[in-house]
Structure 1
Amino acid sequence: MNGISRLDIKQLRVLNALLDLKNLSQVARKMGLTQQAISEQLRKLRDLFNDRLFIRQGNSMVPTPKALSMQQPISHILKQLETLLEPDLFIPQTYKGVFTISATDYATQALLPQLFKITRREAPGLKLIVRDFASDNVNQLITAGELDLLITFPEFIPDNLAYVTLLEEQHLCITGCGNYLIKAPLTLAQIAAYPQLVVSPSRANLRGSHDKWFAARDLKRNIVMSVPSFSAVPDILQTTDMIAFYPSRLLPNSKVKQLKIAALPPTFKVIAAWHPRTSDSAIHGWIIEKLKNI
């Protein structure tokens, strides 16, 4: 067995304490050990380094030149080992790094502008990359480390990801400001009959998230147009006779107005999701906390 494999951290701590205190009983009290245990460790150290290391003079232990030559290196080694156990300190003002977010069209409008305002003020060294949300390959991208965080809806993420709810959102019924043909308040049957625009970011079809809610009331929606993003909705409604269900956080908008209807559809959750391997990441935790407070 070579020398390094015979040396352990406890022996280094004993040697460091002896060099500092030069007294066996004081070292024993400091380390919570018996004086016999300290003497046994010293015996092993003498054998390992082939040197007496300390010579007893009265109640003191006088270090040999060999022991004195090791004092600074041992102190340095122990300090380095202590840093391994210290928690990583995350200081936003001095943090430097790149963080990639995949966000839905909704999140890009409703949450990210305020998040960017916070990060520029509190973490100026943080660089952010925002990518479109692609539900088909999001698991592959986040597993490969190409994405750090997803901001989306629960139904769009795979089961293996960790997530937290950021907020609960409500769809409101809106139409263009110039649409005077619609008289409020409206029954759900009237709403279902009006020509409707839906947002379908992941699938290009004429289906909406509230179809089942209407169907449970024996109503079929008159969906006549589908677009991939919320950002296009106000411009389209402003120039047509259609209505749409639109997230409340994206309102008010000067191009549209809210309609009074008999009942509102169920609320929906907006979440932040990440790979479990980054659950203890300080930068992830900081950004998620900021998002929850927006």
Structure 2
Amino acid sequence: MMVRATQRLSNRVDFNLLELFDAVYRLRSLTAAGLELGLSQPAMSRCLARLRDAYGDQLFVRSSEGLLPTPAADALFECAGVVLEVVRRSLEASGFEPRTSNRTFHLAMSDTAEQVFLPRLAAHIARVAPSVDIESRQLSTPQLAKAMAMGSVDLALGYFNFENDGLYQQKLFDAQYACIARRDHPKIPAKLTLSQFKSLGHVVTGFDNTAHASAVDAFLRAPNVNARIAMKVGHFLSIGPIVAESDLIATIPRSLALNFERSHNVTTHSPPLRLPSYAVSQYWHARFNKEAGLLWLRSVIKELFS
């Protein structure tokens, strides 16, 4: 019975349907997925109906935020991602040609890392691999390790504390932390002092998508600091506007602090206590260590940022 059911399912679900499902799941929209795949709205609706019939599940429900996946769709997405990646990589098994490839590379990094990596990477890829696409997203560290093992994420860029997850790591550069406060802060007339640092409220990011959250949190809670964490936010990019319009201060990657200084009413300060530098690296799973496309992408990133 199980064999016959599996055979019936395989007759109804092909690679194109899985590719359509993958696009709808990622984009949460039939229209957007159709544009990506070059299919009309009626064709997309027919294909989605075939998928729903094959799996006996609605897969997506409409909401004000777009199409929301059901639990069955969440499970299917993980499996479909592996299948699609295996097929795509098998087509490139004999080599990777950047100028002719239309591959999409899936990267994971924080919003602050996107500011560091994506502008220069986008410009370079446009020159040497004009049909290659990049998708970037944020995942928690445990989710990211699993996604790289499955092949749904090709590379992670940034500062992470992975456990023994079968991952390779290549250091790109060392980076430092800096503090920011609003320019007209009433309690910081000049240089940020240790007393001010301890007494003022701090805003931090609390999302576990890099090692920054735990590193800064541990530093602020250390016995010789014991600073008050007054606010936790989900993204680094929220910190600049908050600091610019409040008396809160923040300790963040220096590259982001300098960006905020250019775009918001904040000033960059050296931390009054020494914080160790941290290594910004690229990470990938051992399964794909010799895969041609990823060898190329890793070499590009190493060349651009080391």
Q: TM-score range by the shorter chain?
A: 0.5 to 0.7
Whether the 8 Å CA contact 1:162–1:276 is kept in 2: the answer is: yes
Partner of 2:203: 197
> Does the 8 A contact of 1:211 with 1:221 survive in 2?
no
Alignment of 1:20-31 (within 5 A): none
> In structure 2, what is the Cα distance between the partners aligned to 1:181 and 1:121?
49
Q: Are the counterparts in 2 of residues 100 and 130 from structure 1 also a CA contact under 8 Å?
A: yes
Q: Which amino acid aligns with 1:201?
A: F
Distance (Å, rounded) in 1 between the aligned partners of 2:218 and 2:279: 17
**Matched residues in 1 for 2:271 and 2:176: separation?**
14
Aligned partners of 1:261, 1:135: CA distance in 2, in Å?
27
Q: Which amino acid aligns with 1:282?
A: A
| Cross-structure match for 2:106 | 100
| 1:110 to 1:265, Cα distance in 2 relative to 1, 3 A | same
- Report the CA distance shift for 1:90/1:139 in structure 2 as closer, same or farther (over 3 A): same
SS of 2:190's equivalent in the other structure is coil
- Counterpart check, 1:168 vs 2:174: yes
User: Matches of 1:141 and 1:184 in 2, distance apart?
Assistant: 46
Q: If you compute each CA radius of gyration, which structure gives the higher value, 1 or 2?
A: 1
Residue equivalent to 1:219: 225
Quick one: distance in 2 between partners of 1:201 and 1:120? 32
Q: Which residue number in structure 2 is paired with residue 275 of structure 1?
A: 285
Amino acid paired to 1:135? T
Counterpart in 2 of 1:121? 127
Letter of the 2:208 partner, please give it.
S
Counterpart amino acid of 2:100?
Answer: T
Distance 1:147 1:184, change over 3 A: same
Point out the structure with the larger helix share.
2
TM-score (norm 1): 0.62
Residue 148 of structure 1 is aligned with which of 143, 149, 154?
154
Aligned to 2:141: 135
Conserved 8 A contact 1:172-1:264: no
Q: Shift of residue 211 of structure 1?
A: 4.3
Structure 1 residue runs without a partner (length 5+): 1-86
Task: Name 2:62's counterpart in structure 1.
Answer: none
**Cα distance in structure 1, aligned partners of 2:279 and 2:271:** 22
Are the equivalent residues in 2 in contact too, given 1:192–1:222 (CA < 8 A)? yes
Q: Secondary structure at the match of 2:141?
A: coil
Paired residues in the alignment total: 205
Cα distance in structure 1, aligned partners of 2:143 and 2:172: 23
Percentage identity across aligned positions? 26
- Is the Cα contact below 8 Å between 2:145 and 2:165 reproduced in 1? no
Give a deviation string over 1:156-197, Cα, whole Å, max 9, x none. Answer: 465311111122211101112332431232332331211111
Q: Is the CA contact (8 Å cut-off) linking 1:152 and 1:272 kept in structure 2? A: yes
> 1:262 maps to what in 2?
272
* Shift of residue 216, structure 1, vs aligned partner: 5.5
Amino acid in structure 2 at the alignment position of 1:231: L
Alpha-carbon distance in 1 for matches of 2:274, 2:222: 14
CA contact (8 A) 1:199 1:208 kept: no
Contact 1:198 1:223 in 2 (8 A): yes
Structure-2 change in CA distance of 1:146 and 1:252 (3 Å): closer
Check 1:233–1:213 CA distance in 2 against 1; reply closer, same or farther (3 A cut): closer
Normalization by structure 2: what TM-score?
Answer: 0.60
Partner of 1:45: none
Pick aligned residue for 1:286 from 287, 296, 299: 296
2:245 — aligned with what? 239
Q: 2:235 aligns with which of 207, 229, 235?
A: 229
